[in-house]
């Protein structure tokens, strides 16, 4: 049986873990949006300049 101090710490840790996981998911989504925006800008510029895609090895 865990002591009340351990139970309290476990509850605190559980809450902190859930909050950190939520923050992690938000950061990933924010980073993905940024990368996609950058990629869109690059692709538009590539097309505007009339660049040709090279064959991939």
The residue with tokens 């998911």 is 25
Three-state secondary structure call for residue 49 = coil
55 DSSP assignment = P
Three-state secondary structure call for residue 48 = helix
Which residue stretches of the chain are H helix?
4-48
**What is the C-alpha to C-alpha distance for residues 29 and 35, in angstroms, rounded to an integer?**
10
Q: Are 10 and 2 in contact (CB under 8 A)?
A: yes
Supply the pTM of this predicted model: 0.56
- What would the pLDDT profile of 27-52 be if each residue is shown by its tens digit? 888 899 999 999 999 999 999 999 98
Domain extents for the chain?
1-30
- What would the pLDDT profile of 15-26 be if each residue is shown by its tens digit? 999 999 999 999
50 DSSP assignment = T
């Amino acid at each position: 049986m865990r002591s009340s101090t351990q139970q309290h710490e476990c509850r605190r840790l559980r809450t902190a873990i859930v909050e950190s996981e939520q923050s992690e998911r938000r950061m990933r989504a924010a980073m993905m949006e940024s990368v996609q925006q950058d990629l869109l800008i690059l692709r538009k510029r590539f097309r505007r300049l009339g660049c040709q895609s090279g064959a991939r090895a």
